[in-house]
Structure 1
């Protein structure tokens, strides 16, 4: 809740900064296209449960305690902004990164994952992949010389793949699913000086249908320093928390996933 409040406060600052001091005709020409590439130092915590129509409710598995995954990793992250039209009111935001984990551990209890039961003391090989892609359309409702602020709608695409194998027993089970989650949110930025820019965003998902139920909050706060007119050096903090349950034709996947971390990036502006 603190991170959520902090991000909204930054967005409110982005919306108001400059609005009080600038007239409606004082409009800054912002880049048409921005591409930020950087290293995302992420820490995550997750729990997953894979139910079976044949065996019933599966075991809730903690990624660190039960599967032995390392919870910290540095990955490449890409973020882009495209502004359309002369009015500056329309923009698209996109993001992508991918996390992969692999581990081998000895089970401390018997677990059920999907249609397989892995027994106590078995050697368990685990492979996990999470790819996140986001696309948002933002309508800028307030803009001035030193700020822009808008409301957005988009899709948060989570590609989840987890496989468990007990080679000594010849057992293997895998669940792979792609979850397109519709989101609504806010986006804003304020140019503190000619070279310093503060950006913030939040995307929210709350939904309950026959197939998908749960919630998600995606928060970002970053600062950029313009080295040249076309290149900026930036650093930001990202935080995502989600609790999703997906029901397929036969089985149900329940995933609670939190990740956060610092990203350091170069932003190329055109």
Structure 2
């Protein structure tokens, strides 16, 4: 190997390492987003971002227009990530009994069973799915929490079958035929209390971070998420810039020799 090749070899090796490393790291982290659309005539709206690092998910969500009160108290809205089915939200054709409301079980063939409960505290497993004491409440709220996902939840995200469902309808806004019906999940509650109000599929985002003004991250009622994600992507950018500088140096060196 001549002297020129000996000089270029370390530079080329460093440049190759700098370009490969961020790609390998990026494979372990993804951001997903869901546009939460109204279902069952709820009139609500919202959006949710989920940043996944390994099995750690930082969830940031903003919703508004939900039912406000239930039995003279802030209305608890149990919410979940569903998965393992068609990976989509149901339309009115899913209302198999014709009462004018797509219940949770009627929608299940579309979005699947609960894989993660988006609770404000404590348990996030499917077992906490109807724990109203751990649910966010009121007509609007900002939710932020970092949680551990099990293998089934991670698989649903990566396979594109993960769907976010927020439950709890205003009884005054559903058809009369459904107002007296009992919940298909908790018979002691009315059907409106556990039926879907918002639904959105979690799609892999084209952006690494939430855009400014997208989903507010402050004022959450749950534990705040880690700030490592922003540093991680910033670090990747620095490495890519370093690789570019090394390649420019290599070209200049080649022209001079």
TM-score range for the pair, normalised by the shorter chain length: under 0.3
- Higher helix proportion, which one? 2
TM-score (norm 1): 0.23
State the structure with more CA Rg. 2
